[in-house]
Amino acid sequence: MEAVLNRILGELQHVNQKLENIDNRLDKVEQRMGKLEQRMDTLEVRMDKLEQRMDTLEVRMDKLEQRMDTLEVRMDKLEQRMDTLEVRMDKLGQRMDTLEGRMDKLEQRVDILEVGQKELHQMVHAIRNNQLESRAVIDSVQYDIADMKGGLKTLCENMVTKKDLRFYDMKIGEHDREIFTMKQQ
């Protein structure tokens, strides 16, 4: 029975050691990833709950002689939970690696964007330098447009309107009827 207790205590110490390692990793992640604070807080709450469960388990271990059969069943469940926790911790480690990779990629993208920003600043500077030339061209175009407006005004004054066309169509129709009437006579 002492061997079982020692084994359980060894496993509990192992679990506590793993929990301390997890807390250290979580602190590093919190420093690097501000956006993951909510997830980390949730994980810390879970870890606190797990520590509370472990404390409860230690109290139950003191009552081992009275509840040995029940404890064996609970120990099996605890081992399952530990396995699940280890799996979760492995997944968390993978997530952290993935997030670190993403951060590296984001840093690369920021570097690229900074280079692009410098190029844009140079282009804006070149555009500002060409602004006077553009203004001269615009003034020339505006002058040409004013000339064209005058030409269009003259053209519009000389154009035949729809009203004129209707009148001519009406007159042609009248003449066609008169010609038709004359031919029939």
Q: What is the pLDDT of residue 33?
A: 67
Q: Which of 86, 92, 104, 100 is nearest to 31 (CA)?
A: 100
Q: What is the pLDDT of residue 111?
A: 92
For residue 159, is pLDDT > 80? no
Q: What is the pTM of this model?
A: 0.29
Q: Which residues contact 74 (CB under 8 A, 6 or more apart)?
A: 57, 60
pLDDT tens-digit profile of 131-158?
878 888 888 888 888 888 877 777 777 7
Structure tokens of 140?
Answer: 């020339």
Most confident of 52-56, 57-61, 169-173: 169-173
Q: Output the CA torsion sign for 91, 95, 96, 98.
A: positive
